Amino acid sequence: MVKLRVKNVLIRECMAEFIGTFVLLMFGCSAAAQVKTSRETRGQFLSVNMAFSVGVMSAMYLTMGVTGAHLNPAVSLSFCVLRKVSWTRLLPYSLSQVLGAYVASGLVYLVYYEAIMEFSGGVLTVYGPNETASIFATYPTEYISLSRSFLDQVVGTAMLLLCILCLGEKRNTPAPPGLIPPIVGTIVLGIGMSMSANCGGAINPARDLGPRLFTLTAGWGVEVFTCYNYWFWVPLVAPMIGAIVGAMTYLVFIEWQLPDPNPHLDLSIPPTPTKDCKELQAATGNGVELKMAYF
């Protein structure tokens, strides 16, 4: 078994990001398939959100020891901006995450193939009451504008980064390392339950692009990219911007305001003499000797 260990560190990390994102999408897209194809008789909106949060928690426990469990190009980008991760990791991590999401979508499709075909009548489409593309990728509601959906994704991703960056900060109230995955999962659940009605709450470019590429190749066609006025680019670009906004907000409002871990003694404020020092001053009458007594 030792012979199967990959020696290249970057490859090992990419493998972790691949399998972590795969697990995340297996939980989330399977729940979406179950809810939609059963016409909400075997789960509802909350079921999908809970499944994605369990997927996040499980994937984090699985991969934290290798990469820290990014599972999201927007998270990887923010860590690069904050100099927590080398910029050379951004592209390999992102590609691994997209690939993991693609493969997971394919497996979900195989598992739920009969259910999808029965529900859709064998017609794979993006629009209409029997559409099935939203099982995999995210799509906006018909009433929302492109600019508003862009704002939606920026805000959702910014909230994610703002809330997770504090979890390991020792100068604040750090979470126990073993509890970070369920905490992050709960944060994702909260965002999904409160900020996903407009356009699905992707907040993760890999979570959207991987499944969208799969549906393109599996029979849904180019409509998955052209629909809703070429909306597909919003869950790719907006989360990346939102991640930077969230990271900068955390720095300005929290990290830069935390107490210095190694405060220096301010010599500009003279210490208050103690009773013993006053007696020493009276006995010697020498300010130099008194000053030496303080230090």
Q: What is the pTM of this model?
A: 0.88
Measured CA to CA, the distance from residue 146 to residue 152 in angstroms comes to 10
Q: Cα 1 vs. chain centroid, distance in angstroms?
A: 32
> Higher-confidence residue: 233 or 294?
233
Mean pLDDT to the nearest integer, 164-191:
96
Percent of the chain scoring above 90 in pLDDT? 86
Domain spans, the chain: 2-259
Dihedral (Cα; 203, 74, 185, 104), 10-degree rounding = 80
Measured CA to CA, the distance from residue 79 to residue 17 in angstroms comes to 15
Q: What is the DSSP letter of 129?
A: T
Q: Does domain 2-259 have CATH number 3.60.15.10?
A: no
| pLDDT tens digits, one per residue of 72-100 | 999 999 999 999 999 999 999 999 999 99
Predicted pLDDT of residue 3? 76
C-alpha to C-alpha distances, 278 to 120, 179, 188, 209, 267, nearest whole angstrom: 90, 53, 61, 74, 20
